[in-house]
């Protein structure tokens, strides 16, 4: 579905990603790595926010490289940004609507998508009229995931979904991810490797801008290097 | 629960403010009925001029310090259309809308496009530069000589209950209502308007939901320039033109947007109402008429002090 081939990305003269190749099929895939490994740069490249020097990014056979971000989103990639990037003065309902209103393919299914999101996150149902900016961090994360799902994406990207959340909310978020992965392909970058490995099918280890390892979640959880470096065992 | 209480409090606060303004207007109406009518007309003119800035600055966060100069250029456009082709200034509002939409497009591509998302100082300097180019350019074309059209219909008047007032100025009231209604419809009922609100609140968030942020900036900029330039012809029917007339309206519009609350279109109208009524009331006094300008500063200082107090309370 989503394929990244031999991607090289620079910030000025500094190379961030080196010949990076990876793919996401009908599954959930994690990208793990320390700060500065290039996880967010990879996401920015997929979304067209950073233009790669060489390489290819393909969604269902169509190259995304020449497209602007809004076109890429319309093609079927949705993102839950690390900082959530909600519209703070809009209500939850309005935030959810913006996730749907600019995607022609999803717009026709507005009611269906809203019902799906509210079933996934029942707490949002009670807070539809509340300004998003007045909600707690965990609830805002749910709104951000809900807004991304309103676009009926083919691939849902989550950038550090557990960042800044209390442990109970992190568990809740990953629990929801397990349910969502039945309906949409997921690409998630995360530093909370332990929790994330329980929720995904496959994972890549990104170190210094290169793929250092790729395996199933079960194998990664049992790998000595991963256990020592990322799980603290 | 807490949010519901906060919302109720805000609604009550808003209602209280509205009732206060309404009560003041009624009192003025009883005390000096002519002031009520003239104040309404003046307020409407201020609102009309400030609303396009409210769209640009309040909704999508673009500071255009050449706002008043665009109105000045629009006013001169109507003046020359009238002088050369005999076109009535009211009629020239329509071609002005179209021509200055395209003019806005050119200005945006040449200038503002390159500084969107950059620190606000860039926008301030750019706007200041454009305002100088427009006013000095107009001086070169039309000289500094004040110009005024002689139009019979602007001096029409009516009397009700012994109070005589000008009727033509109600064109500003009608204009302000049309622009206010049009903006509310655009922002609340159209996907493009909602996109503009989203871009204003969070451009990065807007980009990731599939909004073409650059197109929204372009469209709102052009609409704002078209509107303020098309208000120029209405303005020049009643007032004298000179190339430096724009800057004071830029400042007043800027202040009205700040006082009304960034992002609040109706707030700008309330602020214009307070400013217009206050100025007219002071102007009506033979003894203190020259103090009218102080209303503008008192309004800004009052709102800054109130907001600062509110922040401390929070």
Q: For residue range B50-70, list pLDDT tens digits in order.
A: 999 999 998 999 999 999 999
State the CATH number of the domain containing residue A217: 3.40.50.300
Measure the CA–CA gap between B107 and B228, rounded to whole angstroms: 14
pLDDT (0 to 100) of residue B178: 96
| pLDDT band, very low/low/confident/very high, at B224 (cuts 50, 70, 90) | very high
Per-residue model confidence as pLDDT tens digits over A29-57: 999 988 888 999 999 999 999 999 999 99
Domain boundaries, chain B: 39-313
Mean pLDDT score of chain A: 90
Could you give the percent of chain B with pLDDT greater than 90? Answer: 62
Q: Are β-strands B163-166 and A2-11 bridged in parallel, bridged antiparallel, or unpaired?
A: unpaired
State yes or no: pLDDT of B124 exceeds 70: yes
Could you give the percent of chain B with pLDDT greater than 70? Answer: 95
pLDDT (0 to 100) of residue B1: 47
User: Structure pTM?
Assistant: 0.87
DSSP category for residue B300: H
Mean pLDDT score of chain B: 89
Of the listed ranges B74-83, B122-131, B234-243, B252-261, the least confidently predicted one is B252-261
**Residue A194, min C-alpha distance to chain B (Å):** 28
pLDDT (0 to 100) of residue A193: 84
Q: Which of B3, B202, B263 sits opposite A134 (nearest CB)?
A: B3
- Which chain A residue is nearest to residue B264, measuring alpha carbons? A89
B212–A70 CB contact, under 8 Å: yes
Is A46 an interface residue toward B (CB < 8 Å)?
A: no
Q: Is residue A128 part of a domain?
A: yes
A85–B208 CB contact, under 8 Å: yes
pLDDT (0 to 100) of residue A103: 93
Q: Is residue A61 part of a domain?
A: no
Per-residue model confidence as pLDDT tens digits over A130-145: 999 999 888 899 999 9
Per-residue model confidence as pLDDT tens digits over A65-76: 999 999 999 999
Residue environment code for A29-54, b if the CB has 16+ CB neighbours within 10 A, otherwise e:
bbbbbeeebbbbbbbbbbbbbbebee
Is A134 an interface residue toward B (CB < 8 Å)?
A: yes
Tell me what the mean pLDDT of segment B297-304 comes to.
83
B208–A68 CB contact, under 8 Å: no
Which residue in B299, B308, B241, B239 sits closest to B272, CA to CA? B299
Interface test with A, best of B205, B206, B211 (most A CBs within 10 A): B205
State yes or no: pLDDT of A226 exceeds 80: no
pLDDT (0 to 100) of residue B8: 56
pLDDT (0 to 100) of residue A169: 80
Which residue in A152, A17, A27, A13 sits closest to A78, CA to CA? A152
| pLDDT band, very low/low/confident/very high, at B22 (cuts 50, 70, 90) | confident
Q: How many domains, in total, are found in chain A?
A: 1
Calculate the dihedral angle through the C-alpha atoms of A142, A147, A149, A153, rounding to the nearest 10 degrees. Answer: -140
Say if the ipTM goes beyond 0.90. Answer: no
- CATH number, domain B39-313, options 1.10.357, 1.10.3470, 3.30.450, 3.40.50: 1.10.3470
Per-residue model confidence as pLDDT tens digits over B101-120: 999 999 999 999 999 988 88
State yes or no: pLDDT of A163 exceeds 80: no
Give the domain range for residue A32: 24-38+76-229
Q: Tell me the torsion sign for CA atoms A139, A158, A31, A50.
A: negative
């Amino acid at each position: 579905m989503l394929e990244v081939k031999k991607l090289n990305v620079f910030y000025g003269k500094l190379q961030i990603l080196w010949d990076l190749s990876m793919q996401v099929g009908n599954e959930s895939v994690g990208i793990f790595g320390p700060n500065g490994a290039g996880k967010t740069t990879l996401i920015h490249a997929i979304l067209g926010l950073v233009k790669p020097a060489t390489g290819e990014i393909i969604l269902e056979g169509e190259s995304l490289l020449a497209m602007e971000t809004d076109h890429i989103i319309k093609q079927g990639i949705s993102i839950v940004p690390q900082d959530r990037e909600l519209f703070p003065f809009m209500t939850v309902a309005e935030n959810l609507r913006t996730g749907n209103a600019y995607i022609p393919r999803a717009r026709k299914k507005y009611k269906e998508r809203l019902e799906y999101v509210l079933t996934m996150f029942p707490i949002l149902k009670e807070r539809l009229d509340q300004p998003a900016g007045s909600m707690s961090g965990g609830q805002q994360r749910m709104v951000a995931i809900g807004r991304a799902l309103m676009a009926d994406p083919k691939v849902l990207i989550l950038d550090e979904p557990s960042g800044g959340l209390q442990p109970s909310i992190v568990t809740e978020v990953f629990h929801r991810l397990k349910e969502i992965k039945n309906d949409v392909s997921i690409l998630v970058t995360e530093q909370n490797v332990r929790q994330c490995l329980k929720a995904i099918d496959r994972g890549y280890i990104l170190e210094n801008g290169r793929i250092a390892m790729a395996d199933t979640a079960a194998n990664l959880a049992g790998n000595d290097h991963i256990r020592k470096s990322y799980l603290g065992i | 629960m807490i949010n519901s209480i906060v919302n109720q409090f805000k609604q009550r606060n808003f209602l209280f403010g509205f009732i206060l303004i309404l009560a003041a207007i009624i009192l003025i109406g009883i005390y000096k009925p002519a002031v009520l009518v003239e104040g309404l007309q003046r307020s409407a003119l201020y609102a009309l001029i400030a609303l396009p800035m409210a769209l640009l600055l309040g909704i999508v966060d673009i500071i255009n310090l050449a706002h008043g100069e665009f109105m000045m250029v629009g006013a001169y456009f109507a003046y020359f259309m009238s002088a050369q082709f005999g076109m009535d200034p009211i009629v020239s509002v329509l071609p002005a809308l179209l021509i200055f939409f395209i003019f806005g497009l050119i200005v945006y591509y040449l200038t503002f496009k390159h500084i969107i998302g950059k620190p606000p100082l860039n926008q301030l300097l750019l706007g200041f530069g454009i305002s100088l180019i427009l006013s000095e350019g107009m001086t070169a074309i039309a000289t500094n000589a004040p110009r005024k059209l002689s139009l019979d219909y602007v001096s029409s008047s009516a009397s009700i209950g012994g109070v005589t007032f000008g009727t033509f100025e109600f064109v500003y009231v009608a204009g302000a209502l049309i622009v206010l209604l049009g903006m509310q419809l655009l922002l609340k009922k159209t996907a493009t308007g909602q996109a503009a609100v989203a871009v204003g609140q969070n451009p990065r968030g807007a980009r990731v939901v599939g909004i073409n942020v650059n197109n929204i900036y372009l469209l709102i900029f052009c609409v704002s320039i078209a509107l303020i330039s098309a208000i120029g012809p209405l303005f020049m029917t009643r007032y004298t033109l000179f190339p430096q007339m724009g800057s004071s309206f830029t400042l007043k519009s800027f202040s009205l947007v700040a006082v009304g609350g960034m992002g609040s279109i109706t707030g700008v109208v309330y602020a214009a109402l307070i400013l217009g009524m206050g100025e007219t009331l002071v102007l009506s006094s033979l003894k203190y008429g020259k103090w009218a300008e102080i209303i503008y500063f008192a309004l800004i200082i009052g709102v800054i002090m109130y907001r600062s107090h509110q922040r401390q309370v929070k």
